[in-house]
């Protein structure tokens, strides 16, 4: 049994090691490995009915109504027909089952669509097209460009040189940048030879199925040799093959055993906190019902003993019934009569309200994303009100908060900052999408998607500013990007990271176009001149160096080293003559960091030929050494990367999705805590934290937990907690709380002074989630305003969510867009999927989905809050209405000899909840709102009462019961007193049972409608129609049923002949109705008035502001661009992964020969201004005729002294 209970491997015992042979199905089938079919649905034809009914009868009320149905078929105790219970019960079960069946049918269709995809499989020496579901472990399959990877494969060969393939992992982690995988040379030599592949009989031994996306260990035995296998040779299901014509792979894991499915988690039945509270309340109501029935049964016994014998003369008892048995039968009779304290119509109404609010979410045009034609979708209709109680949000980063699109935003060259747009007063313009960008039409190889707004930089390029040219030359040469030119002039860059692609694209647009590379050279086009630089060495990125360098020889024979990296690292290696330039550049870096941009410093160095020859020899010896190879190479790198000349710095924006900072700001004001759980590196996650305003310089402190041992992690957590709350005791603080016999430990919220942030690494989080330390971690994290967990696995994401669910009395929401977020989405109370380019795995597992993170604030602050408010108002009113209705029976029992006679007409009992009061309460529950959506955004604090369960709780329920008890006393005793010894206008007695019943019924219907009007804040035309229409319907039906005609047709069913006409024509009856209504409403009005005056809630205060503003919409929120002043620089180099420079210099061509380069629209006749004919709009452009960058001017630097004037450009 695998993670989250998914079936995998052999059913009898846990798989310890996977063994398989290529092209040997008989051998592999003996292990009973899973096929490649997947299953994400919950039910099938056989299990649907029992499993769905089991889930539904977890609602105690449903089980209660089933027991009640059994009682009603016993004639001796039932005074109501059995169909009054069975019809609504079957209706509720059927509606819920149909909804669940439709949801699961969508999952079945999705599974079928995936399982029936076709792929080419090598069977019996030939390629056949087979369905994905029929693929077996050990099969060899062929994938073609842009195909999804069918299963977890061992890459055997590919169409690309060096047996490389390029894959997109958007389905797994939401990242759209391409990643490189490489096959073993021994299998790569088979290429696409079907004969060789069919003869391949290698045996693989590897780890069993698991959920680790970033690790794989195994060995391949073939031709008497053993070869080590790692994650770089594995293609995971869910990836997409890109820019690779074809590849062959050996199936290692299939279906449910693939790493993608191992991370999906098990589909669970989710219930809202109100559902759980309702279960507790229903138990309390059962106890109260049993108490009432016991009291009435005891009263019946006393009455039978003292008074019953006097009535037996004209009302004989049934045979076998005596004074001792009568109380027992009376108890069960009253259980049936008083069952309306928990009416089945409550659950019918709840389902209708949830369905209606789900439609409101899907119909909301403000949550529709036109760019991707994606509306919001409520994939689960049972969790709406939970959206109004969220306390913790767990969010993925890539693709959820960010677009994973890097853009070249600004740069600093030789002390001048470029990228801002300055007006004639020297003030900066805020750059918007509508602002005119630089025209790059003078460059036919420019990327049309690239946008830059500072015209002065392109002017400097055209004026042949040496520092600017050297700057972009460095960007065009110092990288490991691979270029693909499918047609002449149509360039596509395959970058190791989006940052690298953005930098190379920027150089391309400014006239330094990277065209192609070989292991020995890099070809670029400089201002229209094709130049080939000899590539002598690549000093690649790694986690320690945080920089990258290339050593190249220009066509003129000049040796140069170009270096880019983290500014702190580069500054340590600069020549002392760069001091003044360093000071100016550091100011620019601080400014960029203050805007949350990812920065990089650039430097270069000219090399002596003799020195480099000697260094190259030592480099060759170190690279071939058997011992201490890495250390020796690092020493050589350190030696040559010294005395560098500073060129400047770049600033790249990791583009956030629209509205992310504002959304996070609004959610924070609503007292919602956001935790970011990302697989990215710490530096990258911190950058986004600052960009989103989750981390701010104004915070008291941001704690970094990065220890590599349990003791170190514990110490760092305790140190952080002590800093936030000095003198805090070490013992665990719990609040015991018993729920249905379970005793979970609840950690209370701990107040701290100030705001803090916590950043914890994946390896530290692994220790923090151990049972001995998880509470330490949780207490510390919950004291922080923001928590960012970096380098986390999908399993750890789910574990963090489960930890908060287990120990915090809070509702959680998880939001993500990739397959690595599925387990987290399923673990949280509410799962939200971001639908878009990154695949549909997260959406399929989610409860709600939409296209942009910014829609989350509308989902929670508007729809969630309204849904919760409406549901709570509905429950409070419904319990009030039905308790008032039922308690009148209780008081009447003392006046009818505890005979289980109903105080109401049987038709009234049937129609009260279904006709007379159904539509008004549904209208309130679907359309009511305390304030409009714009005011909800203006005051996010309105969300806080929902987190604290202030609208509906056990306390609110008890207040409801007390209020209902008072109203039932008024509804019974005022009409009783009014009719006692009363006569009609003609002198006849009107104190009969039927007149009393009619009066009580009428008072009850009018009183509950008045209460509804007092509870409702927002009247629509629909509400008016429902309320006044229901009152009119009551009188119409009453006069019709109590008419002579109905009595003549059905004399046994309509005995109240003429009661309505007789009673409602008397003035005293209407005065009684008026008095009863006033007495029922007066305490409510008094309570509301005193509460608003003495203890106004946030809702009362905002409603007062609305009235004062005469219902005018609030002013639009100020959304100015936030700038931070910070000394922190967000270095992209810190987040850069280990490069593949070794592949670049492997002495073999990486691609087929490119299309012959052309000069485009340039005229390569030297460095004259006329050489490139600046025909674009930016040529010589200066909007004011003055310097666009009135910044600090600097003296000529060492760069200018070393300017290479003799180069032939």
CB 486 within 8 A of CB 1153: no
DSSP string, 325-385: HHHHHHHHHHHHHGGGGS-HHHHHHHHHHHHHHHHHHHT-GGG-BTTTTB--EES-SS-GG
Q: Let me know how long the chain is.
A: 1209
CA dist 731 → 243, 716, 745, 1172 (Å): 58, 17, 14, 75
Please list the alpha-helical segments (H only) found in 692-793.
710-724, 762-768, 774-782
Cα torsion 75, 76, 79, 80 to 10°: value is: -30
Handedness of CA 12, 17, 23, 24 (dihedral sign): negative
Bridge partners of residue 1018, in order along the sequence: none
What are the contacts of 976-981 at 24+ separation with CB within 8 A? 976/895, 978/1068, 978/1069, 978/1071, 978/1072, 978/1075, 979/1072
What is the C-alpha separation between 770 and 803, in angstroms, rounded? 11
What is the C-alpha separation between 912 and 1073, in angstroms, rounded? 18
CA dist 364 → 115, 360, 377, 859, 863 (Å): 34, 6, 10, 10, 10
**Nearest Cα residue to 533 out of 607, 471, 478:** 478
Cα torsion 289, 294, 299, 305 to 10°: value is: 150
Q: Residue 640 contacts by C-beta under 8 Å, 6 or more apart in sequence?
A: 539, 549, 551, 561, 607, 615
Burial of 236 (0-12, 13-18, 19+ CB in 10 A): buried
CA dist 829 → 6, 815, 1127 (Å): 20, 11, 40
**Nearest Cα residue to 175 out of 475, 406, 484:** 406
What is the C-alpha separation between 941 and 928, in angstroms, rounded? 19
Structure token pair of residue 306: 């003292």
Helix axes 83-115, 344-362, angle to 10 degrees: 40
Angle at 752 between CA 747 and CA 753, to 5 degrees: 170
What is the C-alpha separation between 506 and 452, in angstroms, rounded? 9
What is the C-alpha separation between 212 and 415, in angstroms, rounded? 47
Residue 155 three-state SS? strand
Handedness of CA 688, 693, 698, 703 (dihedral sign): negative
Angle at 1109 between CA 1108 and CA 1111, to 5 degrees: 110
**Intra-chain end-to-end CA distance of the chain, in Å:** 66
Bridge partners of residue 539, in order along the sequence: 549
Catalytic residue among 100, 173, 396, 540: 396
Residue 396 annotated to the active site: yes
CB 56 within 8 A of CB 97: yes
Say which DSSP state 322 is in. Answer: -
Annotate 334-368 with b (16+ C-beta within 10 A) or e (fewer): bbbbbbbbbbbbbbbbbbebbbbbbebbeebeebb
What is the C-alpha separation between 1041 and 330, in angstroms, rounded? 29
Task: Give the containing element (helix H, strand E) for 823.
Answer: helix 822-827
Give the residue numbers marked as catalytic.
396
């Amino acid at each position: 049994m695998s993670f989250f209970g998914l079936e995998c491997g052999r059913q009898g015992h846990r798989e310890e090691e996977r063994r398989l042979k290529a092209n040997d199905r008989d051998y592999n089938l003996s292990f009973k490995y899973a096929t490649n079919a997947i299953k994400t649905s919950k039910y099938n034809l056989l299990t649907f009915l029992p499993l769905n009914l089991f889930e539904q009868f977890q609602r105690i009320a449903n089980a209660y109504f089933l027991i009640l149905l059994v009682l009603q078929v016993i004639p001796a105790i039932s005074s109501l027909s059995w169909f009054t219970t069975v019809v609504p019960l079957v209706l509720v079960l059927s509606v819920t089952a149909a909804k669940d069946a439709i949801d699961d049918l969508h999952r079945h269709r999705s599974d079928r669509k995936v399982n029936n995809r076709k792929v080419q499989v090598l069977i019996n020496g030939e390629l056949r097209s087979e369905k994905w579901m029929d693929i077996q472990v050990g099969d060899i399959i062929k994938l073609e460009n842009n195909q999804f990877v069918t299963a977890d494969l061992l890459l055997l060969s590919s169409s690309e040189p060096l047996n490389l393939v390029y894959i997109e992992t958007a389905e797994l982690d939401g990242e759209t940048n391409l990643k490189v995988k490489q096959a073993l040379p021994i299998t790569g030599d088979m290429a696409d030879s079907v004969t060789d592949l069919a003869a391949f009989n290698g045996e693989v031994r590897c780890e069993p199925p698991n959920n680790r996306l970033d690790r794989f260990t195994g060995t391949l035995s073939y031709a008497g040799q053993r070869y080590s296998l790692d994650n770089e040779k594995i293609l995971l299901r869910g990836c997409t093959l890109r820019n690779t014509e074809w590849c062959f792979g050996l199936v290692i894991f299939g279906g449910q055993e693939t790493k993608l499915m191992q991370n999906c988690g098990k589909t669970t039945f989710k219930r809202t906190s109100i559902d759980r509270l309702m279960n507790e309340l229903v138990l309390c109501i059962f106890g109260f019902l049993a108490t009432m029935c016991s009291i009435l049964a005891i009263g019946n016994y006393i009455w039978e003993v003292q008074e019953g014998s006097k009535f037996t003369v004209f009302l004989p008892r049934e045979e076998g019934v005596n004074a001792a048995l009568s109380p027992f039968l009376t108890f069960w009779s009253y259980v049936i009569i008083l069952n309306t304290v928990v009416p089945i119509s409550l659950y019918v109404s709840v389902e209708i309200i949830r369905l209606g609010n789900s439609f409101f979410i899907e119909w909301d045009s403000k949550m529709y994303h036109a760019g991707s034609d994606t509306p919001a979708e409520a994939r689960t209709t049972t969790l709406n009100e939970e959206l109004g109680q969220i306390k913790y949000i767990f969010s993925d980063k890539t693709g959820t908060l960010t677009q994973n699109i890097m853009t070249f935003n600004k740069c600093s060259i030789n002390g001048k900052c470029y990228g801002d747009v300055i007006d004639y007063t020297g003030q900066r313009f805020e750059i918007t999408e509508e602002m005119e960008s630089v025209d790059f039409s003078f460059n036919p190889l420019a990327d049309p998607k690239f946008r830059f707004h500072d015209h002065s930089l392109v002017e400097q390029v055209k004026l042949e500013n040496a520092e600017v040219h050297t700057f972009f030359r460095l960007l065009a040469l110092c990288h490991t990007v691979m270029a693909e030119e499918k047609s002449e002039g149509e360039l596509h860059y395959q970058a190791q990271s989006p940052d690298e692609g953005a930098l190379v694209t920027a150089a391309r647009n400014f006239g330094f176009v990277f065209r192609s590379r070989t292991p020995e050279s890099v070809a670029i086009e400089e201002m229209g001149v094709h130049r080939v630089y000899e590539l002598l060495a690549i000093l690649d990125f790694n986690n320690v160096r945080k920089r990258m360098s290339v050593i190249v020889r220009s066509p003129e024979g000049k040796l140069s080293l170009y270096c880019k990296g983290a500014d702190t690292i580069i500054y340590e290696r600069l020549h002392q003559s760069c001091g003044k330039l360093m000071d100016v550049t550091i100011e620019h870096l601080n400014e960029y960091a203050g805007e949350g941009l990812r920065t990089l410093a650039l430097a270069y160095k000219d090399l002596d030929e003799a020195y480099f020859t000697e260094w190259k020899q030592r480099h060759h010896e170190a690279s071939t050494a058997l011992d201490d190879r890495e250390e020796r190479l690092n020493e050589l790198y350190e030696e040559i990367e010294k005395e560098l000349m500073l060129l400047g710095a770049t600033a790249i924006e990791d583009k956030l999705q629209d509205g992310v900072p504002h959304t996070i700001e609004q959610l924070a004001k609503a007292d919602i805590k956001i935790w970011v759980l990302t697989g990215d590196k710490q530096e990258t996650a911190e950058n986004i934290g600052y960009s989103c305003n989750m981390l701010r310089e104004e915070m008291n402190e941001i704690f970094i937990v990065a220890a590599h041992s349990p003791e170190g992690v514990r110490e760092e957590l305790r140190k952080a907690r002590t800093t936030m709350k000095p003198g805090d005791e070490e013992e665990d603080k719990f609040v015991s709380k018993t729920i249905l016999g379970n005793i979970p430990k609840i950690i209370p919220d701990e107040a701290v002074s100030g705001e803090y942030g916590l950043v914890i690494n994946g390896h530290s989080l692994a220790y923090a989630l151990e049972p001995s330390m998880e509470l330490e971690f949780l207490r510390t994290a919950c004291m922080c305003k923001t928590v960012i967990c970096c380098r986390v696995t999908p399993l750890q994401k789910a574990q963090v969510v489960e930890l908060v669910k287990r120990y915090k009395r809070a509702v959680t929401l998880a939001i993500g867009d990739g397959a690595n977020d599925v387990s987290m989405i399923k673990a949280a109370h509410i799962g939200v999927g971001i639908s878009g380019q990154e695949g549909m795995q997260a959406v399929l597992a989610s409860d709600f989905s939409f296209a942009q993170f910014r829609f989350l604030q509308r989902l929670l602050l508007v729809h969630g809050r309204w849904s919760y408010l409406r549901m709570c108002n509905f429950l409070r009113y419904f319990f009030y209405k039905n308790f008032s209705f039922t308690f009148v029976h209780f008081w009447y029992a003392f006046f009818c000899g505890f005979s289980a006679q109903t105080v109401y007409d049987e038709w009234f009992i049937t129609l009260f909840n279904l006709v007379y009061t159904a539509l008004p309460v549904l209208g309130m529950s679907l359309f009511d709102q305390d304030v409009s959506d714009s005011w909800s955004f203006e005051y996010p604090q309105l969300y806080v009462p929902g987190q604290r369960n202030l609208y509906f709780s056990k306390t609110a329920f008890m207040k409801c019961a007390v209020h209902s008890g008072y109203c039932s006393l008024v509804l019974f005793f005022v009409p009783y007193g009014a009719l006692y010894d009363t006569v009609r206008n003609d002198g006849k007695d009107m104190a009969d049972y039927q007149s009393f019943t009619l009066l009580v019924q009428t008072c009850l219907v009018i009183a509950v409608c008045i209460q509804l009007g007092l509870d409702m804040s927002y009247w629509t035309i629909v509400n008016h129609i429902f309320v006044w229409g229901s009152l009119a319907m009551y009188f119409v039906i009453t006069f019709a049923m109590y008419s002579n005609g109905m009595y003549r047709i059905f004399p046994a069913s309509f005995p109240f002949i003429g009661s309505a006409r007789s009673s409602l024509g008397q003035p005293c009856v209407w005065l009684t109705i008026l008095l009863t209504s006033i007495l029922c409403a007066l305490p409510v009005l008094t309570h509301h008035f005193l509460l608003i005056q003495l203890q106004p809630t946030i809702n009362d205060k905002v409603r007062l502001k609305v009235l004062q503003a005469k219902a005018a919409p609030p002013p639009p929120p100020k959304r100015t661009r936030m700038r931070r002043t910070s000394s922190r620089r967000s270095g992209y180099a810190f987040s850069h992964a280990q490069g593949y420079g070794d592949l670049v210099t492997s002495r073999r061509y990486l691609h087929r020969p490119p299309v012959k380069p052309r000069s485009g629209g340039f005229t390569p006749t030297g460095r004259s201004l006329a050489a490139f004919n600046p025909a674009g709009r930016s040529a010589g452009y200066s909007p004011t005729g003055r310097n666009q960058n009135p910044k600090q001017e600097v003296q000529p630097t060492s760069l200018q002294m070393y300017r290479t004037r003799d180069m032939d450009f």
